[in-house]
A = this chain, B = another copy of it.
Amino acid sequence: MTDRTPRPTPQRIAVIGAGAVGSYYGARLAQAGHEVHFVMRRDYDAVASGGLTVRSKDGDFRLEHPLVHRTPEEIGPVDWVLVGLKATAIEDARPLIAPLIGDGTRILLLMNGLGLEEIVGGWFGDERVFGGLAFTCINRGEPGVVHHIDYGAVTIGHHLDDPAALDDALALWADATVEVIRAPSLLLARWRKLLWNVPFNGLAVTAGGVTTDVIMGTPDLRAAAESVMREVVAAGNADLAAHGAEVRLDVDADIAAMLAATEAMEVYRPSTMIDFVEGRALEVEAIFGEPLRRARTLGLVVPYLELLTALMRALDPARTTRATSG
Contacts and interface: CB of A to CB of B under 8 A. Distances in A.
B307 A224 contact: yes
Contacts of A210: 314, 323
26 contacts: A203-B311, A206-B206, A207-B311, A207-B314, A208-B314, A208-B315, A214-B323, A217-B323, A217-B325, A217-B326, A218-B310, A218-B322, A218-B323, A218-B326, A219-B326, A220-B306, A220-B310, A221-B314, A223-B306, A223-B310, A224-B306, A224-B310, A224-B311, A227-B306, A303-B307, A304-B307
Nearest to A308: B307
Given A206-B311, A221-B314, 17 more contacts: A203-B311, A207-B315, A208-B315, A210-B323, A217-B326, A218-B310, A218-B313, A218-B314, A220-B309, A222-B326, A223-B306, A224-B306, A224-B307, A227-B306, A303-B304, A304-B307, A307-B307
A5 interface: no
Interface in A295-312: 303-304, 306-311
Interface in A188-243: 203, 206-208, 210, 213-214, 216-224, 227
A324 B266 CA distance: 12
Contacts of A306: 220, 223-224, 227
A218 to B, nearest CB: 5
Contacts of A216: 326
Copies in the complex: 2
Contacts of A326: 216-219, 222
Which of A203, A213, A307, A325 has its CB near the most chain B CB atoms (within 10 A)? A307
Interface residues of A, number: 33
Interface of A: 203, 206-208, 210, 213-214, 216-224, 227, 303-304, 306-311, 313-315, 322-326
Nearest to A313: B220
Nearest to A220: B310
Nearest to A315: B208
Contacts of A207: 310-311, 314-315
A215 to B, nearest CB: 9
Contacts of A224: 306-307, 310-311
A181 B110 CA distance: 62
A304 B301 CA distance: 12
A210 B206 CA distance: 14
A313 B325 CA distance: 30
A14 B325 CA distance: 48
Contacts of A325: 217
Contacts of A213: 324
A280 to B, nearest CB: 15
Contact of A217 (B307, B309, B324): B324
Contact of A214 (B203, B217, B314): B314
A94 B219 CA distance: 30
Nearest to A317: B208
Contacts of A222: 326
A229 to B, nearest CB: 13
